[in-house]
């Protein structure tokens, strides 16, 4: 395995000769020589490694990694911005830990890469769909209601999103009585989201929710069912979007639609 220093000094040597090579090799982190079809990258300060994969650099039809785990390393003109997708929504990738397995995400609309909004307005729920993700860590489910005719007693009015006729509010889902009927409040829209519990108290929800939204939430991940056979045989899962087939990248470089010949070794 190449370490960063060697790969950097190699890059530096190449820079003098071939500026183009420098550009390519600095984008890459150490690749696992056992899996020549599986690449690791660095995007901003995030490690993108299996089961995540970099969307904009893999061959467009085939990748080594889990379905839906693609990370778009886009550039906003100033810096690289790692973006993950859940459903149709974009999330800024704050951090990834491979052991234990978790990914820290921030709703892109309220993330540090967009101009800060003193009064952020969430636009969508977190849609995990059938992805193998679970919320991880100490979190709070925040329920937002916008443009209502009033604020129920257990909710906290968001003053900067309210006016004398239309009220917006936030509350922790735990504060809401069972079977509460929102009909009489005639809200325009309701959004449910999950954040790290960074609140000093439940009464501080209203002044502190913008900060909580910017810190985001963590998900841990498990394996997809299609993937188990491949990984248990020592391989890494992938997908070919052309043939719509699940792929298995085996140690040594073979790629199969089945599984490898080895047994699972935890790396
Ligand atoms: C890692 O893989 C990428 C993509 O093919 C390649 O450009 C790069 O040279 C590799 N890096 C190392 C350190 O092997
Ligand atoms: C990134 O991945 C490399 C190789 O797996 C590892 O050595 C390094 O510590 C990781 N860096 C971070 C910040 O996680
Ligand atoms: C990556 O993000 C950029 C900026 O949002 C977008 O233009 C591009 O289409 C995205 N790429 C992929 C593969 O989704
Ligand atoms: C990412 O998480 C690791 C492990 O918890 C931590 O040491 C590191 O500081 C975090 N990086 C960022 C940018 O938050
Ligand atoms: C928040 O909602 C998620 C998904 O419905 C659930 O798994 C989690 O346990 C809830 N968290 C709390 C603190 O209630
Ligand atoms: C409330 O409704 C008005 C008019 O439709 C809209 O402009 C405004 O953005 C809404 N406010 C919120 C917080 O959704
Ligand atoms: C209040 O909300 C209603 C319904 O969305 C909208 O038609 C109206 O313009 C809003 N009024 C104000 C003052 O925001
Ligand atoms: C909520 O209350 C309204 C009338 O205020 C009623 O028409 C509606 O059926 C109620 N919904 C539920 C789920 O109880
Ligand atoms: C598994 O072993 C068989 C027999 O040696 C060989 O034909 C096949 O190509 C191997 N498959 C993989 C994915 O390595």
pLDDT in tens, 89-126: 999 999 999 999 999 999 999 998 888 888 899 999 99
In this predicted structure, what is the pLDDT of residue 204?
93
Q: State the ligand closest to the CA atom of 182.
A: 8
Q: pLDDT above 70 covers what percent of the chain?
A: 85
ω into 51 cis (within 30 of 0):
yes
How much distance in Å is there from the Cα of 183 to the middle of ligand 8?
6
Q: How many whole angstroms from 192 Cα to the centroid of ligand 7?
A: 22
Give me the pLDDT at residue 30, please. Answer: 62
Among 224, 199, 187, residue whose Cα is nearest residue 69: 224
Torsion over CA: 151, 153, 157, 163 (sign): positive
Mean pLDDT over 157-168 rounds to 96
Q: Which atom of ligand 8 is nearest to the CA of 182?
A: 1
* 125 in contact with ligand 1, CB cutoff 6 A: no
Residue the block writes with tokens 């061959």: 59
Half-sphere exposure of residue 264: CA atoms within 13 angstroms, side-chain side: 9
Predicted pLDDT of residue 97 = 96
What does the alpha-carbon distance between residue 209 and residue 120 come to, in Å, rounded to a whole number? 9
**From the CB of 141, is ligand 7 less than 6 Å away?**
no
Closest ligand 2 atom, residue 30 Cα: 4
| 53 has a pLDDT exceeding 90 | yes
Least confidently predicted of 109-118, 193-202, 210-219, 229-238: 109-118
CA distance 173 to 204: 15
Q: By percentage, how much of the chain surpasses pLDDT 90?
A: 67
The model's confidence at residue 8, banded by pLDDT at 50, 70 and 90, is very low
**Shortest-distance atom of ligand 9 to CA 255:** 13
Ligand 5 pocket: which of 135, 205, 220 to mutate (most atoms within 8 A of CB)? 135
Token code pair at residue 235: 């391989």
Residue nearest atom 1 in ligand 5 by C-alpha distance: 141
> Nearest C-alpha to atom 5 of ligand 5 is from which residue?
141
If you average pLDDT over residues 71-89, what whole number do you get? 93
Please indicate whether residue 90, judged by its CB atom, sits closer than 6 Å to ligand 6: no
pLDDT mean over 39-46: 92
State in Å: Cα 146 to ligand 6 middle.
7
Q: Which one, of 129, 155, 160, 161, lies nearest residue 142 by Cα?
A: 155
- Give 232's pLDDT tier (boundaries 50, 70, 90): very high
The answer to whether the predicted template modeling score (pTM) of the entire model surpasses 0.75 is yes
Confidence (pLDDT) at 179: 93
Specify which residues 98 forms β-bridges with. 101
Query: What is the rounded average pLDDT for all residues in the chain?
Result: 86
For residue 258, the ligand closest to its alpha carbon is 9
Query: For position 9, what pLDDT does the model report?
Result: 53
Ligand nearest to the CA of 43: 2
Q: What is the mean pLDDT of residues 38-64?
A: 86
| Per-residue pLDDT, 266 | 52
On the question of pLDDT at 191 being above 80, the answer is: yes
Give exposure, 145-182, as e/b (b: 16+ Cβ within 10 Å).
bbbbeebbeebbebeebbeeeebbbbbbeebeeeeeee
Strands (E), the chain: 41-43, 46-48, 53-54, 62-64, 70-75, 80-86, 89-98, 101-107, 133-136, 139-148, 156-157, 167-172, 189-196, 217-221, 236-240, 245-249, 255-256
Question: What whole-number distance in Å separates Cα of residue 88 and Cα of residue 236?
Answer: 26
Predicted local confidence at residue 57, as pLDDT: 55
pLDDT of residue 236: 94
Specify the range with the lowest mean pLDDT, choosing from 84-88, 166-170, 193-197, 262-266: 262-266
CB-CB neighbours of 16 under 10 Å: 8
- Which pLDDT belongs to residue 200? 94
Predicted confidence at residue 52, as pLDDT, reads 96
């Amino acid at each position: 395995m190449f370490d960063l220093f060697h790969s950097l000094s190699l890059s530096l040597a190449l820079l003098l000769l071939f500026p183009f090579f420098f550009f390519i090799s600095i984008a890459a982190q150490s690749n696992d020589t056992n899996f020549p079809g599986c690449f690791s990258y660095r995007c901003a300060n995030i490690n993108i490694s299996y089961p995540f994969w970099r969307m904009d650099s893999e061959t467009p039809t085939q990748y080594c990694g889990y379905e839906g785990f693609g990370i778009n390393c886009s550039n906003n003109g100033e810096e690289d911005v790692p973006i993950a997708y859940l459903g149709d929504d974009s999330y800024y990738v704050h951090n990834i830990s491979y052991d234990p397995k978790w990914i820290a995400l921030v709703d892109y609309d309220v993330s540090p890469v967009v101009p800060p909004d003193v009064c952020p307005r969430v636009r969508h729920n977190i849609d995990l769909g059938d992805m193998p993700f679970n919320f991880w860590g100490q979190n709070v489910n925040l329920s937002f209601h916008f443009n209502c005719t009033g604020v129920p007693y257990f909710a906290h009015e968001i003053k900067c999103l309210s006016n004398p006729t239309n009220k917006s509010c936030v509350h922790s889902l735990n504060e809401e009585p069972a079977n509460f009927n929102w009909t009489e409040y005639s809200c325009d829209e309701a959004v449910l989201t999950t954040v790290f519990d960074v609140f000093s108290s439940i009464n501080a929800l209203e002044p502190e929710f913008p900060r909580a939204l910017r810190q985001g939430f963590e998900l841990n991940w498990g394996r997809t069912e299609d993937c188990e056979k491949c990984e248990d045989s020592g391989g890494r899962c992938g997908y070919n979007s052309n043939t719509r087939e699940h792929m298995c990248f085996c140690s040594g470089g073979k790629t199969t639609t089945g599984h490898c010949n080895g047994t699972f070794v935890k790396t």
